[in-house]
Structure 1
Amino acid sequence: MKQLFFDSEFCSMGRWIALVAAEKLGLAFYDDQELFKLADPEDLNAKQAAELTEWLKVTENDYQAVSQNLKFRQTEQAFRQAVQQALAKGPCAIHERGSVDLKSEDTLAIMIYNSDVKDKSQRVGFEKKYSQEELSEQQRLLLLKQEDQARRLYKNAAAGQEIWGKKEYYDLCIDTAAFSKEKCVDILVNALSESAISNEDFTKIVIEKYGVVE
């Protein structure tokens, strides 16, 4: 079974899709919360990662400058080591923190995106950190831009090149504006097995992990 490295646009449902695909394929799933558990809390923790993300959301630095930032380098190295531990444990799916230098013939790089900006903006409220806020459409669009900037700068700075969202880097890119979340999982699962996913299975798995699904 191949290892899966997922990247995703904010509010594209990529994290949910990665979680459910991993569950159906019998893979361990790692997002930040699981990777924190593999790291020394002094080297990597939720507060540290959140502070870095907040800075990446608003910085005017390009990825080359970000790569020289000490806090970024320390956090990225800690995540990289946690990912190495996860890979050593067995077949798994890594969301957002898949390191380019760990990609091999046994790894599939997958990008989940959504070409419908209006569709994505409507999902901002599903994110726990924004769910209690009354946001205007302008604020939602700004958050989409900022969150994707943080993901893009992190990935590119870690890789030393512009690769986040570049279709030629990935083995598979799926547009959730074109397919339902269940169909996206079906595409992934059917590419690697004969299993299938139902709406009930998808909803149950995501609610157990994140408490909410649309």
Structure 2
Amino acid sequence: MNERGTIMIKCVFMDSEYCSMGRWISMIVGDVCGMRLLEGIDLAELSDEPWLTKAYLNDFDHRMAGRTAGELAANEEFQRVNAALLEGAKKAIAQGPCIIHERALGALLGDTPDSMRVMLYNKSMEHRIPRAVGDPTFDLADASHDEVVRFICSQDADRAAYRNALTDMPWGAKESYDLCLDSDLLGREKCAEILIEAVSDLKLDAQKCKETIDRIMEKWAENHR
């Protein structure tokens, strides 16, 4: 089905394990349902803070990596950046239907009317490994199996620490979400279909799905070079 129907959920807060296909699924759901996909860079632009540039945010994320939730919570720069991203998220929600990825915003803005908090995970580490190796934002082509596994785990740990520094609703815990989906068991297409069903009265068109991903991933790769 290509025509857009009634969107019942206006904002999806999407958390996801690294290489669980959360971004792929969000892209498809966003395109089919007419919901903008927003990540940190997009929220930074909406914050209207001139210092919060793409380069600054990328450097900030790099410097904050590996820190514990307690260390992040006590870091003034972390709190300042998150406050700016929070304001950007509020503006995004006011502008119309959207999917917001990570940054603890599902916990901080979970009481937003007509919103849903979603967790995407994948219980198969072996299925996540080739996706990590193929991620153009990191250079893992020559990494060993164990090195890639450690990297994947470190990415999840960083996502958990970020959220846990800002809220007592733990990253990844089922009690923190309205819907949890295992992309290993269900597959990425079925996860997208379930989420589309959850937010609207739409069905997923397989060919349109492929065309959408090809188009969006090309643009995404350009933005992360």
Relative to the length of structure 1, the TM-score reads 0.89
Letter in 1 for 2:71: A
Deviation at 1:25, TM superposition (A): 1.4
Confirm or deny that 1:165 pairs with 2:181.
Answer: no
Work out whether residues 107 and 176 of structure 2, in 8 Å CA contact, stay in contact via their aligned partners in 1: no
Deviation at 1:145, TM superposition (A): 1.1
Listed one character per residue, the Cα deviations across residues 118-139 of structure 1 (whole Å, up to 9, x for unaligned) are: 1111210232212574221122
> What's the secondary structure of 2:48's corresponding residue?
coil
Deviation at 1:162, TM superposition (A): 4.8
Q: 1:40 to 1:201 in 2, by over 3 A?
A: same
Letter in 2 for 1:69: N
> What's the secondary structure of 2:18's corresponding residue?
coil
Deviation at 1:107, TM superposition (A): 1.3
Confirm or deny that 1:182 pairs with 2:182.
Answer: no
Aligned residue in 2 for 1:87: 93
Work out whether residues 19 and 128 of structure 2, in 8 Å CA contact, stay in contact via their aligned partners in 1: yes
Listed one character per residue, the Cα deviations across residues 90-132 of structure 1 (whole Å, up to 9, x for unaligned) are: 1211111325232124210000000111111121023221257
Aligned residue in 2 for 1:36: 44
Cα separation, 2, equivalents of 1:163 and 1:141: 22
Letter in 2 for 1:207: D
Count of aligned pairs between the two proteins: 210
> What's the secondary structure of 1:4's corresponding residue?
strand
Alignment of 1:112-131 (within 5 A): 112-130=120-138
Alignment of 1:30-109 (within 5 A): 30-40=38-48, 42-59=50-67, 61=68, 63-97=69-103, 98-104=105-111, 105-109=113-117
Work out whether residues 169 and 176 of structure 2, in 8 Å CA contact, stay in contact via their aligned partners in 1: no
- Aligned counterpart for 1:209 among listed residues 194, 216, 219: 216
Confirm or deny that 1:26 pairs with 2:34.
Answer: yes
Work out whether residues 53 and 150 of structure 1, in 8 Å CA contact, stay in contact via their aligned partners in 2: no
Listed one character per residue, the Cα deviations across residues 119-174 of structure 1 (whole Å, up to 9, x for unaligned) are: 11121023221257422112211110111111111111122x25100011100000
Which deviates more from structure 2 when the two are superposed, residues 94-103 or residues 4-13?
Answer: 94-103
Letter in 2 for 1:201: K
Cα separation, 1, equivalents of 2:165 and 2:210: 35
Letter in 2 for 1:182: E
Letter in 2 for 1:80: L
Aligned residue in 1 for 2:16: 8
Deviation at 1:42, TM superposition (A): 3.0
Unaligned runs of 5+ in 2: 1-7, 221-225
Cα separation, 1, equivalents of 2:121 and 2:106: 19
Listed one character per residue, the Cα deviations across residues 78-100 of structure 1 (whole Å, up to 9, x for unaligned) are: 11111011011012111113252
Relative to the length of structure 2, the TM-score reads 0.85
Aligned residue in 1 for 2:148: 140
Work out whether residues 41 and 57 of structure 2, in 8 Å CA contact, stay in contact via their aligned partners in 1: no
